[in-house]
C-alpha cells in the first residue's frame, strides 16, 4: 500500500476532526439542556465528568475545586478514579502543576507528553494511574474562579484543539449552572438571569418583556450597537431598533419565544450611527419561578464579516459561470485553477475552525469550509468532463455524491437515476443545487440520505430525502442567512416554483424542478 500524500493526510485528519467536533457539539448541547433539571451541585459535577469522558474518549476526568486556605485543589468529582480518591485527595495548586497554571492564568493547558514535560511536574496521582497526557481548563466563577476541569488519558492518542474547545464549553455551562443553583438556594432574587454572566458574554444580549420592551442589554451589546447608556433604549420597543423590513421577523420570533418556543433567524440591524451589521439572532423564553414566561432573551452574534464573504463567494461563483465560454481549453484551464484555489481556501478555513477558541465561530468557519468544498467538488467534476457540450448528469452526480459520502462516513448517502443527458453548461448549477440539499440533510436531518434524479418533460426533478422529522411549517423561509435556498432557486432557473416540500410523508423530503434547456 502506498503511503498517503500530505494532501490526503490533511484531508483525513480534517474529516476525523470534523466528525469529532460534531459529536462534541451535540454532547455540549445535551449537557447544557440536561443541567436545567439538576438541583444539586454534586449531580452537576458528576454529569459534567461523564459528558467529558464520552466526548473525548477519556477514561479519567475530574473536577478540582480550589481551596484558598491551603492553596490546593480538592478532587471534588470525577470518573475513572477510586471512590477513596474522590472527595479526599488534595493536589498542589502552584504554577508548576498543569492545573495550577490553568487556574492562575485563566487559560487552558494542553500537554500531550507529561513524561517529557519541562514546563510542569506530573502530580503523583496522575503518575499512579499511568496518565500520559492531560487537558486543564478553568471553571470560572463570580467573583473568583471556582476550580479546574481536567481530562486525562493513559493511552497514546493525542488530545487535539477541538477537545480544548469542548472542555471550555462544558466548563462555561458549569459556571453558569453553579451561579443559578446558588441563586435558587439563597432565594435572594426572583431574577431569571444573571447580569454578571450576561455582561461577560462577547455577544449582544438583550432581555425584553413579552410585549417587546427592552429591560436589559449587556455591555458588549451596547458597545456593538454604539449606544452609550442602557437608559437610551430602556423601555423602548426592541423591534424599533431594526429596519422596517426586518420588524416582522423580530416580532414573530418574540411571539414564538413568549409562547415557549426558541427561535433563530438572521438579519441586518443598524447601529446607532447607521452602520449596517448582520446578526445571527437566537431568541429563547425565560421561565420564572412560577413557571410562567415574563421575559425573552435575544442573543445577537455579529456575523457581518461572514455574510459579506458568503456574498462575495456567491458572486465569484456566478461570475466564473458567466465567464465560461465555448472554448474547451479555456474551460479546462479555468476549472483547474479554481479547483486548486478553492481547495486551499477550504483547507485553511477548516484548520482555522479547529483552532477557534469560540465554538460558534468554529461552527461558522466549518460551514464556510463545507460550502467552499462543495464549489470545488463541482468544478472538479466539470473539469473531468473536459468541456463536453452535453453529458450524462446521473454519472456526474454519482461522483459528487461519492465525494460527500467520503466526507461524512457516519451517514449513509445513496443515489439513483437513469441516464439523463443535459447540456454541460447546466451541470455546475445542478451540482451546486444537489450539494446544497445534501449539506442541509446532513446538517439538519438524520439517518440515511437518499438522492434521486428523474426526467420530467423539458426539465429534471431532483429529490433529496432523509429520515428526519420533516421540515418546519414555514420552510423554505430562511432560519439563517437564507443564502443556501437563494442559490437553489437561482440555479434551478424556475423562480420560486422550483422548490417544493413533500408534507405527505412523515420524514424530510424536498424536490427541486430544474431547468435544463
DSSP assignment of 332-366 equals HHHHHHHHHHHHHHHHHHHHHHHH-SSHHHHHHHH
Q: How many domains does the chain have?
A: 3
What pLDDT digit, counting tens, does each position of 70-103 carry? 999 999 999 999 999 999 999 999 988 899 999 9
In this structure, the answer to whether residues 447 and 502 fall within a common structural domain is yes
Spatial contact of 407 and 435, defined as CB atoms under 8 Å apart:
no
Of the pLDDT bands very low, low, confident and very high (cuts 50, 70, 90), residue 429 is: confident
pLDDT reading at 6 higher than 60:
no
In this structure, the answer to whether residues 311 and 297 fall within a common structural domain is no
Of the pLDDT bands very low, low, confident and very high (cuts 50, 70, 90), residue 194 is: low
At 162 the pLDDT is 83
pTM of whole model > 0.75? no
pLDDT reading at 487 higher than 70:
yes
- Hey, what's the cell of 119? 514546563
SS3 for 138-170 is EECCCCCCCEEEEEEECCCCCCCHHHHHHHHHH
What pLDDT digit, counting tens, does each position of 238-255 carry? 888 898 888 898 999 999
In this structure, the answer to whether residues 309 and 295 fall within a common structural domain is no
Helix orientation angle between 328-355 and 6-34, rounded to the nearest 10 degrees: 50
Nearest alpha carbon to residue 451 among 510, 515, 516, 380:
510
In this structure, the answer to whether residues 181 and 51 fall within a common structural domain is yes
Q: What is the mean pLDDT of residues 466-483?
A: 70
In this structure, the answer to whether residues 63 and 114 fall within a common structural domain is yes
Least confident of 79-83, 181-185, 323-327, 339-343: 323-327
pLDDT reading at 53 higher than 70:
yes
User: Is it true that the peptide bond before 476 is cis, omega within 30 degrees of 0?
Assistant: yes
Q: Domain end: 158, 186, 214, which one?
A: 186
Of the pLDDT bands very low, low, confident and very high (cuts 50, 70, 90), residue 193 is: very low
C-alpha of 183 from chain center: 30
Q: How many CB atoms lie within 10 A of CB 495?
A: 10
C-alpha span between 137 and 272 (Å, rounded)? 38
C-alpha span between 18 and 23 (Å, rounded)? 9
Q: What is the mean pLDDT of residues 118-125?
A: 86
Residues in the chain: 517
**Domain-embedded: residue 55:** yes
Higher-scoring residue by pLDDT: 18, 304 = 304
**Domain-embedded: residue 284:** yes
| Residue 477, CA atoms < 13 Å, CB-side half-sphere | 11
Counting residues of the chain whose pLDDT is more than 70, the rounded percentage is 83
Please compute Rg for the chain using Cα positions: 26
In this structure, the answer to whether residues 293 and 418 fall within a common structural domain is no
In this structure, the answer to whether residues 163 and 202 fall within a common structural domain is no
Percent helix, percent strand, percent coil in the chain, to nearest 5: 50, 20, 30
pLDDT reading at 62 higher than 60:
yes
At 142 the pLDDT is 64
Whole-Å CA distances, 120 to 98, 100, 246, 439:
6, 10, 54, 44
**Domain-embedded: residue 1:** no
- Map residue 421 onto helix, strand or coil: strand
**Domain-embedded: residue 393:** yes
At 230 the pLDDT is 86
C-alpha span between 406 and 164 (Å, rounded)? 26
Least confident of 252-256, 285-289, 418-422: 285-289
At 496 the pLDDT is 67
pLDDT reading at 186 higher than 80:
no
At 13 the pLDDT is 52
Q: Domain end: 302, 333, 363, which one?
A: 302
**Domain-embedded: residue 158:** yes
At 191 the pLDDT is 46
**Domain-embedded: residue 469:** yes
In this structure, the answer to whether residues 32 and 173 fall within a common structural domain is yes
Q: What is the mean pLDDT of residues 383-396?
A: 69
Q: Is the dihedral of CA 76, 79, 83, 85 positive or negative?
A: negative
Q: Domain end: 139, 162, 186, which one?
A: 186
pLDDT reading at 2 higher than 50:
no
CATH number at residue 151: 3.30.450.40
In this structure, the answer to whether residues 282 and 206 fall within a common structural domain is yes
State the average pLDDT for the chain: 81
C-alpha span between 347 and 13 (Å, rounded)? 11
Of these ranges, 312-326, 400-414, 485-499, the one predicted with the greatest mean pLDDT is: 400-414
Spatial contact of 427 and 434, defined as CB atoms under 8 Å apart:
no
C-alpha span between 491 and 375 (Å, rounded)? 13
pLDDT reading at 275 higher than 80:
yes
In this structure, the answer to whether residues 218 and 166 fall within a common structural domain is no
Spatial contact of 426 and 460, defined as CB atoms under 8 Å apart:
no
Q: What is the mean pLDDT of residues 382-402?
A: 73
In this structure, the answer to whether residues 228 and 331 fall within a common structural domain is no
C-alpha span between 31 and 45 (Å, rounded)? 11
**Domain-embedded: residue 396:** yes
DSSP assignment of 298-323 equals EEEEE-HHHHHHHHHHHHHHHHHHHH
Of the pLDDT bands very low, low, confident and very high (cuts 50, 70, 90), residue 9 is: very low
SS3 for 208-262 is EECCCEEEEECHHHHHHCCCCCHHHCCCCEHHHHCCHHHHHHHHHHHHHHHCCCC
At 365 the pLDDT is 78
CATH number at residue 362: 3.30.565.10
Q: What is the mean pLDDT of residues 13-38?
A: 77
Spatial contact of 152 and 60, defined as CB atoms under 8 Å apart:
yes
Q: Is 307 exposed, middle or buried (0-12, 13-18, 19+ CB in 10 A)?
A: buried
In this structure, the answer to whether residues 139 and 109 fall within a common structural domain is yes
Domain hosting 417: range is 304-515
Contacts of 230 (CB under 8 A, 6+ apart): 216, 217, 222
Instruction: Tell me phi and psi for residue 415, to 5 degrees.
Output: -135, 140
Of the pLDDT bands very low, low, confident and very high (cuts 50, 70, 90), residue 149 is: very high
pLDDT reading at 1 higher than 50:
no
At 185 the pLDDT is 64
At 390 the pLDDT is 66
Q: Is 164 exposed, middle or buried (0-12, 13-18, 19+ CB in 10 A)?
A: buried
At 382 the pLDDT is 61
CATH number at residue 287: 3.30.450.20
Higher-scoring residue by pLDDT: 143, 468 = 468
Amino acid at each position: 500500500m502506498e503511503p498517503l500524500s500530505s494532501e490526503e493526510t490533511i484531508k483525513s485528519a480534517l474529516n476525523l476532526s470534523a466528525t469529532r467536533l460534531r459529536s462534541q457539539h451535540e454532547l455540549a448541547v445535551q449537557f447544557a439542556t440536561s443541567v436545567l433539571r439538576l438541583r444539586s451541585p454534586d449531580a452537576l459535577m458528576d454529569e459534567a465528568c461523564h459528558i467529558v469522558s464520552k466526548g473525548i474518549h477519556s477514561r479519567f476526568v475530574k473536577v478540582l475545586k480550589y481551596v484558598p486556605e491551603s492553596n490546593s485543589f480538592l478532587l471534588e468529582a470525577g470518573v475513572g478514579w477510586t471512590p477513596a480518591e474522590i472527595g479526599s485527595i488534595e493536589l498542589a495548586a502552584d504554577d508548576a502543576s498543569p492545573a495550577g497554571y490553568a487556574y492562575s492564568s485563566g487559560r487552558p493547558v494542553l500537554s500531550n507528553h507529561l513524561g517529557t514535560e519541562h514546563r510542569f511536574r506530573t502530580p503523583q496521582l496522575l503518575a499512579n494511574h499511568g496518565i500520559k497526557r492531560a487537558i486543564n481548563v478553568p471553571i470560572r466563577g463570580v467573583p473568583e474562579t471556582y476550580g479546574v476541569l481536567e481530562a486525562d488519558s493513559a493511552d497514546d492518542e493525542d488530545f487535539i484543539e477541538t477537545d480544548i474547545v469542548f472542555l471550555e464549553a462544558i466548563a462555561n455551562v458549569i459556571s453558569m449552572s453553579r451561579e443559578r443553583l446558588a441563586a435558587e438556594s439563597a432565594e435572594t432574587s426572583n431574577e431569571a438571569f444573571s447580569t454578571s454572566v450576561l455582561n461577560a458574554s462577547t455577544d449582544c444580549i438583550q432581555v425584553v418583556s413579552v410585549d417587546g420592551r427592552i429591560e436589559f442589554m449587556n455591555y458588549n451589546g451596547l458597545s456593538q450597537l454604539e449606544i452609550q447608556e442602557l437608559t437610551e433604549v430602556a423601555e423602548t420597543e426592541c423591534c424599533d431598533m431594526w429596519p422596517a423590513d426586518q420588524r416582522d421577523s423580530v416580532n414573530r420570533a418574540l411571539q414564538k419565544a413568549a409562547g415557549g418556543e426558541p427561535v433563530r433567524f438572521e438579519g441586518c440591524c443598524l447601529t446607532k450611527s447607521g452602520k449596517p451589521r448582520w446578526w445571527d439572532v437566537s431568541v429563547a423564553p425565560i421561565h420564572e419561578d412560577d413557571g410562567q414566561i415574563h421575559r425573552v432573551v435575544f442573543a445577537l452574534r455579529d456575523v457581518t464579516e461572514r455574510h459579506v464573504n458568503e456574498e462575495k463567494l456567491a458572486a465569484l461563483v456566478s461570475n466564473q459561470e458567466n465567464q465560461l465560454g465555448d472554448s474547451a481549453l479555456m474551460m479546462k484551464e479555468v476549472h483547474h485553477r479554481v479547483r486548486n484555489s478553492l481547495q486551499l481556501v477550504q483547507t485553511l478555513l477548516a484548520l482555522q475552525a479547529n483552532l477557534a477558541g469560540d465554538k460558534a465561530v468554529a461552527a461558522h468557519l466549518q460551514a464556510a469550509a463545507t460550502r467552499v468544498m462543495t464549489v470545488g467538488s463541482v468544478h472538479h467534476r466539470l473539469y473531468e468532463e473536459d468541456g463536453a457540450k452535453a453529458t450524462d448528469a446521473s454519472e456526474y452526480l454519482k461522483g459528487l455524491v461519492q465525494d460527500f459520502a467520503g466526507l461524512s462516513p457516519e451517514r449513509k448517502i445513496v443515489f439513483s437515476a437513469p441516464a439523463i443527458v443535459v447540456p454541460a453548461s447546466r451541470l455546475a448549477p445542478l451540482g451546486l443545487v444537489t450539494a446544497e440539499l445534501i449539506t442541509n440533510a446532513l446538517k439538519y436531518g438524520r439517518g440515511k440520505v437518499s438522492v434521486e434524479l428523474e426526467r420530467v418533460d423539458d426539465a429534471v426533478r431532483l429529490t433529496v430525502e432523509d429520515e428526519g422529522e420533516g421540515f418546519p411549517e414555514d420552510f423554505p423561509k430562511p432560519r439563517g442567512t437564507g443564502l443556501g435556498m437563494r442559490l437553489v432557486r437561482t440555479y434551478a432557473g424556475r423562480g420560486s416554483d422550483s422548490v417544493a416540500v413533500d408534507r405527505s410523508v412523515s420524514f424530510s423530503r424536498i424536490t427541486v424542478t430544474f431547468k435544463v434547456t
